[in-house]
C-alpha cells in the first residue's frame, strides 16, 4: 500500500466516523427537542428518519474503510472473502442511502414514501452486487480489457443512478428552502462522488494521488452537505406551527380568517376571490377534520382520488402566501397545514376545535349536488 493510499483510507475512516457521530447526535437532539411535533402522527409512522439512515451510511463507510485497510495490511485483498465483504458493504450502504431518500420530502415522486419502488430498487442493488462479485470469476483474465474492468461496470451504473437520485433530492430540498447556492454545490459534490468511482472501472483514469484526492474531497464535502441538510431540518421544525396553535374560520364563500402566531399571522382575512377550487378543497379538508374521525378525515390526492393532483394542495398554500404577501421567513409550507398520512392521503393539521365554519356556508356547501357526500358528515 502506498503512503498516499494509506493516508486516504485512514482519513476516510476518521472523517466518516466523525460525520456519522455528528449526524447521529443531531438526530437524537432533534428527537428530544421536537418529539411532540415529530410524533403528532406517530400512529401513521410519519417520523422522518432520513437523517438517521444517512448517519448509518456514514458508519458503513467507516466499517468498509477498516475492512479495506485490514485487507491491505494482512494481504487478503485477492481473496473471495475480501471481495464478498466489499460487495456486502456496498449493498448495505446503498440501501441506507435509498432509505434516507425514502424520507426526503423533495425526492423524486417514485421514491418518496413509495415502498413498492424502494423494494424494486433494493432488488436491483442486490442483483448488481451479485453480478459484480460473480463477473471476475466468470471472466477471469478477460475481466480487464484495455484498462477497462468489466466487472465494475454494473456497480458504476448503479452508482450513477443513486447519484442522480441524491442530486435531485438535495437540489430540490435546498432550493425550496431558499438555499440555491447550497443546492448547486450539492449537485457538484454528488458529481464528484460519481467521478471518484470512475477509476474503479477505467483503470487508466487519473493516478493514485488524484483519484484519492478526489475521493477524500468528495466524501468530506458530502458529509458537510449532510450536516447542512440536518441544520435546515432543525430550522424547518422550529418554524413549523403546532396543530393546536392554528385557528381557521370560514366566514363566507371565498373568505377565510387564519391565525398562525408562529408565522406572525394574526387573524388575517384571506379572500380567495375567483380561486374557488382552492377554497372548496380547503373547506372539504376542514369539514372532514372537524366532523369526522379516523380515515374519513383524509382525502386521497391522486388520479383516482377526490383531489386529482398534489398541485391543488400546493396552490392553496401559494394562494395564501400571495394574498397575505408573506415574506420568505413567514411563508407557509404545505406541511404547515396538511399532513401526509400515507397511500396518497392527506388531512388538515389543525385540531378540530380550532376550525370554525359559518353555519349558512356549511349548509349551502353540503346541499350542493357535487358535495352531497359531505352532508352525511354533518
As a whole number of angstroms, the distance between CA 340 and CA 52 comes to: 20
Distance between start and end Cα atoms, the chain: 75
Q: What is the pLDDT of residues 90-124, one digit of tens each?
A: 888 888 888 888 777 777 777 766 677 778 888 88
| pTM score of the predicted model | 0.75
Number of domains comprising the chain: 2
> How do 247-252 and 355-357 pair as beta strands?
parallel
Q: What is the pLDDT of residues 44-86, one digit of tens each?
A: 344 457 888 889 999 999 999 899 888 888 888 778 778 778 8
- Cell 460525520 locates to 19
Whether residues 260 and 315 share a domain: the answer is yes
pLDDT reading at 36 higher than 70? no
- Cell 396538511 locates to 338
Last residue of a domain, which of 208, 239, 270?
A: 239
Whether residues 113 and 28 share a domain: the answer is yes
Please state, as a whole number, how many other Cβ atoms lie within 10 Å of the Cβ of residue 146. 7
Q: HSE-up of 94 (CA within 13 Å, CB side)?
A: 28
Domain CATH number, residue 146: 1.20.1070
> Phi and psi dihedrals of 209, rounded to 5?
-70, -50
Whether residues 204 and 88 share a domain: the answer is yes
Place 186 in a pLDDT band, splitting at 50, 70 and 90. Answer: very high
> Partners of 249 in the beta sheet?
257, 356
Whether residues 181 and 294 share a domain: the answer is no
As a whole number of angstroms, the distance between CA 245 and CA 181 comes to: 34
Question: Are the CB atoms for 309 and 301 separated by under 8 Å?
Answer: yes
Last residue of a domain, which of 239, 255, 274?
A: 239
Nearest one of 56, 83, 55 to 68, comparing CA atoms: 83
Whether residues 182 and 69 share a domain: the answer is yes
What are the residues whose beta carbons fall under 8 Å from the beta carbon of 89, sequence distance 6 or more? 60, 63, 64, 67
> For the residues 153-174, what does the mean pLDDT come to?
88
> For the residues 14-24, what does the mean pLDDT come to?
91
pLDDT reading at 43 higher than 50? no
What the block records as the C-alpha cell of 248 is 381557521
Whether residues 247 and 235 share a domain: the answer is no
Tell me which of 137-146, 168-177, 254-263, 265-274 is least confident: 137-146
> Phi and psi dihedrals of 48, rounded to 5?
-75, 115
Residue 191 has a pLDDT of 94
- Cell 381557521 locates to 248
Whether residues 226 and 314 share a domain: the answer is no
What range does the domain containing 283 cover? 243-377
> Phi and psi dihedrals of 119, rounded to 5?
-60, -40
Higher pLDDT pick, 297 / 35: 297
Residue 60 has a pLDDT of 92
The DSSP-derived string for 109-163 is: TTTTT-HHHHHHHHHHHHHHHHHHHHHHHHHGGGGEETTEEGGGHHHHHHHHHHH
Residues above pLDDT 70, as percent of the chain: 95
Average pLDDT of the chain to the nearest whole number: 84
Question: Are the CB atoms for 288 and 347 separated by under 8 Å?
Answer: yes
Last residue of a domain, which of 213, 239, 265?
A: 239
Nearest one of 338, 336, 251, 352 to 298, comparing CA atoms: 338
> For the residues 332-359, what does the mean pLDDT come to?
86
Place 88 in a pLDDT band, splitting at 50, 70 and 90. Answer: confident
pLDDT reading at 42 higher than 70? no
Higher pLDDT pick, 73 / 285: 285
- Cell 437520485 locates to 165
Whether residues 92 and 24 share a domain: the answer is yes
Q: What is the DSSP letter of 44?
A: G
Residue 192 has a pLDDT of 93
Whether residues 198 and 279 share a domain: the answer is no
As a whole number of angstroms, the distance between CA 215 and CA 218 comes to: 5
Residue 258 has a pLDDT of 92
What the block records as the C-alpha cell of 16 is 466518516
Number of H helices, E strands in the chain: 12, 9
Q: What is the pLDDT of residues 238-282, one digit of tens each?
A: 778 888 889 999 999 989 999 998 888 888 999 988 778 888 999
Residue 29 has a pLDDT of 82
Whether residues 313 and 169 share a domain: the answer is no
Whether residues 282 and 227 share a domain: the answer is no
Whether residues 198 and 49 share a domain: the answer is yes
Question: Are the CB atoms for 180 and 197 separated by under 8 Å?
Answer: no
Amino acid at each position: 500500500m502506498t503512503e498516499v493510499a494509506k493516508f486516504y483510507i485512514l482519513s476516510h475512516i476518521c472523517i466518516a466516523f466523525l460525520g456519522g457521530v455528528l449526524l447521529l447526535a443531531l438526530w437524537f437532539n432533534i428527537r428530544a427537542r421536537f418529539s411532540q411535533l415529530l410524533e403528532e402522527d406517530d400512529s401513521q409512522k410519519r417520523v422522518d428518519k432520513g437523517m438517521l439512515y444517512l448517519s448509518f451510511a456514514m458508519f458503513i463507510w467507516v466499517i468498509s474503510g477498516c475492512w479495506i485497510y485490514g485487507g491491505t495490511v494482512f494481504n487478503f485483498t485477492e481473496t473471495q472473502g475480501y471481495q464478498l465483504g466489499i460487495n456486502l458493504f456496498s449493498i448495505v450502504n446503498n440501501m441506507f442511502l435509498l432509505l434516507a431518500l425514502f424520507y426526503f420530502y423533495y425526492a423524486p415522486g417514485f421514491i418518496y414514501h413509495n415502498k413498492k419502488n424502494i423494494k424494486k430498487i433494493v432488488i436491483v442493488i442486490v442483483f448488481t452486487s451479485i453480478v459484480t462479485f460473480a463477473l471476475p470469476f466468470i471472466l477471469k483474465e478477460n475481466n480487464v480489457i484495455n484498462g477497462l474492468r468489466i466487472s465494475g461496470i454494473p456497480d458504476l451504473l448503479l452508482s450513477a443512478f443513486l447519484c442522480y437520485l441524491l442530486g435531485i433530492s438535495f437540489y430540490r430540498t435546498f432550493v425550496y428552502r431558499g438555499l440555491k447556492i447550497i443546492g448547486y454545490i450539492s449537485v457538484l459534490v454528488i458529481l464528484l462522488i460519481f467521478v471518484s468511482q470512475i477509476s474503479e472501472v477505467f483503470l487508466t483514469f487519473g493516478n493514485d494521488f488524484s483519484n484519492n484526492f478526489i475521493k477524500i474531497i468528495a466524501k468530506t464535502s458530502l458529509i458537510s452537505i449532510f450536516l447542512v441538510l440536518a441544520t435546515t431540518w432543525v430550522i424547518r421544525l422550529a418554524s413549523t406551527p403546532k396543530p393546536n396553535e392554528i385557528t381557521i374560520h370560514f366566514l363566507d364563500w371565498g373568505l377565510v380568517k387564519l391565525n398562525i402566531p408562529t408565522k406572525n399571522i394574526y387573524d388575517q382575512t384571506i379572500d380567495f376571490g375567483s380561486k374557488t377550487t382552492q377554497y372548496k378543497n380547503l373547506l372539504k379538508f376542514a369539514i372532514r377534520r372537524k366532523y369526522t374521525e379516523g380515515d374519513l378525515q383524509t382525502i386521497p390526492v391522486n388520479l383516482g382520488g377526490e383531489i386529482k393532483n398534489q398541485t391543488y394542495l400546493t396552490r392553496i398554500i401559494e394562494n395564501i402566501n400571495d394574498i397575505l404577501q408573506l415574506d420568505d421567513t413567514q411563508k407557509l409550507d404545505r406541511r404547515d397545514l396538511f399532513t401526509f398520512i400515507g397511500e396518497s392521503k392527506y388531512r388538515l393539521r389543525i385540531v378540530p376545535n380550532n376550525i370554525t365554519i359559518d353555519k349558512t356556508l356549511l349548509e349551502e356547501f353540503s346541499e350542493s349536488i357535487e358535495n352531497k357526500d359531505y352532508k352525511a358528515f354533518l
